[in-house]
Amino acid sequence: LAAAAQVGPVRRLLSGRLKPGDGPSAQKRARSWFTVRFVGEGGGQRVYTEVSGGDPGYDETAKMLAEGALCLALDDLPPSSGQVTTAVAMGDALIERLDAAGIRFRVAATR
């Protein structure tokens, strides 16, 4: 969608949809939440995890971006090289920051 928005006709079509300030109200965001479940397999085990938090569209996205930036700027991170994922680059330091900001990570089960 972001790439398509760079094309003039598509940008004009999308720009007429939402005006600044037309997003959800603070009350609606306060009632919003998310839970994402993951399954990982390796070493003969299966691990089920969950990540949950409040409004994913505004509130939690802002927390993730801000805490990621603070983590990169302030935390003592493990050495890495090349192009790495967020988890490899920031690992437990980011999870601790996000948990303190109200985004929860938990291992639901292992088998």
Question: What is the tens place of the pLDDT at every residue in 21-55?
Answer: 788 899 999 999 999 999 999 999 999 999 999 99
Residue 12 is predicted with a pLDDT of 73
Q: How far apart (Å, rounded) are the C-alpha atoms in residues 14 and 2?
A: 11
Q: How far apart (Å, rounded) are the C-alpha atoms in residues 104 and 24?
A: 23
Element (H, E) at 13: helix 8-15
Residue 2 is predicted with a pLDDT of 65
In a domain, 79, yes or no: yes
Look at the chain and report how many structural domains it folds into: 1
pLDDT in tens, 53-97: 999 988 999 999 999 999 999 999 988 889 999 989 999 999 999
In a domain, 49, yes or no: yes
- What is the pTM assigned to this prediction? 0.76
In a domain, 11, yes or no: no
In a domain, 5, yes or no: no
Supply the range of the domain harboring residue 68. Answer: 23-110
In a domain, 60, yes or no: yes
Give the residue with greater pLDDT, 100 vs 22: 100
In a domain, 2, yes or no: no
